[in-house]
Structure 1
Amino acid sequence: MARPIWSGALTFGLVSLPVRLHSATESHTIRFRQLERGTSDRIRNKHVNERTGAEVAAEDMVKGLETDGTYVVVEPDELDEIAPGRSRTLEIDGFVDLDEVDPIYFDRTYWLAPKGEEYAKTYALLHEALSRTNRAGIATFVMRNREYLVAVKAEADVLAVHTLHWADEIRDPKEELSPVPGKRRLPEKELKTAVKLVETLDMEWHPEEYRDTYRERVLELVEAKAKGETYEKAEQPPQATDVVDLMDALQRSVDEAGERRGRGGKGRGKGSKGRKKPEGGLEELNKKQLYERAAHAGVPGRSTMNRDELIEALGKAS
Structure 2
Amino acid sequence: MARPVWAGNLTFGLVSLPVGLFPATDSHTIHFHQLQRGTADRIRNRRVNERTGDEVDLDDIVKGYDTGGEYVLVEPAELDEIAPGRSRSLEINGFVDLDEIEPIYFDKTYYLGPRGAEYTKVYALLEQALAGAGKAGIATFVMRQHEYLVAVKAEDGILTLHTLHWANEIRDPRKEIDNLPGGRAKATAKELRMAEQLIVSLSMTWDPEQFHDTFQEKVSALIRAKKADETVEKAEPAPASTGAVDLLETLRASVERARSPKDTREKATTSRAAPKKRTAAKKRARTAPRTQDLTTLTKAELYKKATAAHVPGRSHMTRENLLDALAHSSG
Shorter-chain TM-score bucket reads 0.7 to 0.9
Contact 1:261 1:272 in 2 (8 A): no
CA deviation after TM superposition for structure 1 residue 275, in Å: 11
Task: Give the Cα separation in 2 of the matches to 1:258 and 1:126.
Answer: 47
Residue 242 of structure 2 aligns to a residue in which SS? Answer: coil
Task: Give the Cα separation in 1 of the matches to 2:84 and 2:171.
Answer: 32
Gaps of 5+ in 1: 265-269, 277-290, 302-312
Task: Give the Cα separation in 2 of the matches to 1:263 and 1:25.
Answer: 39
The aligned runs of 1:1-318 (5 Å cut-off) are 1-83=1-83, 85-182=85-182, 184-263=185-264
Residue identity (%): 56
Moved more, 50-59 or 94-103: 50-59
Contact 2:80 2:86 in 1 (8 A): no
Alpha-carbon displacement from aligned partner over 1:83-122 (angstroms, at most 9, x marks no partner):
2624101000000011111000000000001111111111
Contact 2:128 2:157 in 1 (8 A): no
Alpha-carbon displacement from aligned partner over 1:23-82 (angstroms, at most 9, x marks no partner):
000111111100011111101111111112111122211111111221111111111111
Aligned residue pairs: how many? Answer: 283
Contact 2:191 2:248 in 1 (8 A): yes
Residue 156 of structure 2 aligns to a residue in which SS? Answer: coil
Task: Give the Cα separation in 2 of the matches to 1:171 and 1:260.
Answer: 41
Amino acid corresponding to residue 152 of structure 1 in structure 2:
V
Gaps of 5+ in 2: 273-300, 316-325
Residue 138 of structure 2 aligns to a residue in which SS? Answer: strand
CA deviation after TM superposition for structure 1 residue 185, in Å: 2.9
Cα 1:192/1:208, change in 2 over 3 Å: same
Residue 93 of structure 2 aligns to a residue in which SS? Answer: strand
CA deviation after TM superposition for structure 1 residue 186, in Å: 2.1
CA deviation after TM superposition for structure 1 residue 256, in Å: 0.8
Cα 1:298/1:55, change in 2 over 3 Å: farther
Contact 1:10 1:17 in 2 (8 A): yes
Moved more, 180-189 or 46-55: 180-189
Residue 154 of structure 1 aligns to a residue in which SS? Answer: strand
RMSD: 2.7
Task: Give the Cα separation in 2 of the matches to 1:44 and 1:77.
Answer: 29
- Normalised to the residue count of structure 2, the TM-score between the two structures is 0.80
CA deviation after TM superposition for structure 1 residue 170, in Å: 0.4
Q: Which has the higher helix share?
A: 2
Alpha-carbon displacement from aligned partner over 1:233-279 (angstroms, at most 9, x marks no partner):
01100000121111011011111101123346xxxxx9999999xxx
Task: Give the Cα separation in 2 of the matches to 1:55 and 1:186.
Answer: 61
